[in-house]
């Protein structure tokens, strides 16, 4: 009897060992496949360009416009915090760059806004964010550099109340890096209560000084026919004191393409300010090495992207 039990035990032990071995192999294969997918998609020599139909809240009214997100990988000098182009590359790190643009009109005059985000593909904190805003009253430039456990902020503004500023704030998650985090690994998105530095585009439109703000966030799977016929994932961020909510919609599966977003906050100033929702919905997308598409004969690509403004 003891020999029979011992035999059964050995058989069970062997089965368990085989099962564990298969599970580990599957896990390694899965991880390798994910890394392979990331490499083949993002290091193909092309950028991903996506156009969104924009409904932008400004001065208490809704404005039609274009939003475009451009994602591309490149090498970035971590010390100088600029794109690596030549010379010593010891401090070069691979990053996923996002260029985000918005164009819309307010009455007679146009707005043109752009934010650039530089996030290491390793998942480490974003190194740099730069935002510029141009309209007929004047223009502003805002830059954030993540260095020495602080974020150095540089502001150059046409407006007297802002003028030229250089200051530092405590390191915290940047709202601007949520977009690149989604594309690299959406599971790295923080949930629950935490401190975050609001988006630089929001700061420019509201003329607010950047600092850490208390917020809460959730990540869920749902359906929203405005953005997709399929199930999507939604990252919802709510600021506790700013009366502001941000909801980013993206695909469930890699490459986690951004399907659109909604942003609710007070638009307008003084007694005329009211809660309104900016909304952007994906309409067109393509992958191309746009930096070489600079001939008149390449203009058809704008039509393929549905760019209007």
Tell me the mean pLDDT in the region 120-137: 97
> Between the CA of residue 272 and those of 121, 230, 269, 278, what are the distances in Å?
43, 39, 6, 17
Report whether 158 contacts 139 (CB < 8 A). Answer: yes
pLDDT at 35: 84
- Which residues make beta-bridge pairs with 68? 51, 101
Tell me the mean pLDDT in the region 128-152: 96
Q: Which of 259, 264, 190 is nearest to 223 (CA)?
A: 259
- Tokens for 226, please give them: 């405005």
pLDDT at 271: 81
pLDDT at 213: 97
User: How high is the mean pLDDT of the chain?
Assistant: 90
pLDDT at 268: 87
> Between the CA of residue 252 and those of 50, 71, 124, what are the distances in Å?
17, 18, 22
pLDDT at 125: 96
Percent of the chain with pLDDT over 90: 86
Tell me the mean pLDDT in the region 107-125: 97
Q: Please say if the pLDDT value at position 281 is more than 70.
A: yes
List alpha helices for 124-260, DSSP H.
Answer: 178-184, 200-206
| 184 exposure class (CB count in 10 Å sphere: 0-12, 13-18, 19+) | buried
Q: Please say if the pLDDT value at position 160 is more than 90.
A: yes
Local confidence band at 16 (pLDDT 50, 70, 90 cut-offs): very low
Q: How far apart are CA 267 and CA 253, in angstroms?
A: 34
Q: Please say if the pLDDT value at position 4 is more than 80.
A: no
Q: Please say if the pLDDT value at position 2 is more than 80.
A: no
Q: Please say if the pLDDT value at position 8 is more than 50.
A: no
- Of residues 246 and 33, more confidence is placed in 246
What DSSP string runs through 3-14?
Answer: HHHHHHHHHHHH
Q: Please say if the pLDDT value at position 28 is more than 60.
A: no
pLDDT in tens, 203-244: 999 999 999 999 999 999 999 999 999 999 999 999 999 999
3-state helix, strand, coil in the chain (%, to 5): 25, 50, 25
- Tokens for 178, please give them: 């949520």
Local confidence band at 94 (pLDDT 50, 70, 90 cut-offs): very high
Local confidence band at 272 (pLDDT 50, 70, 90 cut-offs): confident
pLDDT in tens, 256-266: 999 999 999 99
């Amino acid at each position: 009897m003891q020999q029979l039990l011992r035999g059964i035990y050995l058989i069970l032990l062997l089965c368990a060992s085989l099962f564990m071995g298969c599970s580990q192999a599957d896990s390694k294969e899965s991880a390798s496949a994910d890394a392979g997918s990331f490499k083949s998609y993002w290091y193909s020599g092309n950028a991903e360009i996506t156009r969104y139909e924009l409904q932008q809240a400004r001065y208490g009214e809704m404005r039609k416009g274009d939003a475009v997100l451009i994602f591309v990988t490149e090498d970035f000098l971590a010390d100088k915090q600029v794109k690596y182009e030549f010379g010593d590359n010891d401090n070069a790190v691979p990053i996923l760059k996002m260029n985000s643009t918005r164009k819309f009109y307010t009455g007679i005059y146009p707005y043109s806004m752009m934010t650039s985000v530089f996030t290491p593909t390793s998942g480490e904190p974003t190194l740099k964010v730069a935002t510029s805003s141009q309209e007929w009253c004047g223009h502003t430039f805002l830059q954030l550099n993540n260095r020495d456990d602080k974020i150095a902020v540089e502001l150059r503004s046409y407006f007297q109340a802002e003028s030229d500023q250089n200051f530092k704030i405590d390191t915290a998650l940047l709202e601007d890096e949520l977009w690149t985090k989604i594309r690299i690994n959406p599971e790295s998105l923080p949930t629950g209560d935490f401190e975050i530095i609001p988006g630089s585009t929001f700061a420019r439109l509201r003329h607010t000084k950047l600092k850490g703000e208390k917020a809460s966030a959730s990540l869920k799977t749902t359906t929203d026919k405005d953005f997709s016929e399929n199930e999507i994932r939604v990252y919802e961020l709510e600021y506790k004191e700013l009366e502001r909510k941000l909801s980013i919609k993206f695909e469930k599966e890699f490459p986690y393409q951004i399907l659109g977003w909604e942003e609710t906050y007070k638009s307008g100033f003084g007694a005329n300010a009211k809660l309104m929702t900016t909304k952007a919905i994906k309409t067109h997308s393509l992958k191309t090495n746009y930096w070489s598409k600079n001939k008149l004969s390449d203009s058809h690509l704008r039509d393929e992207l549905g760019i209007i403004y």
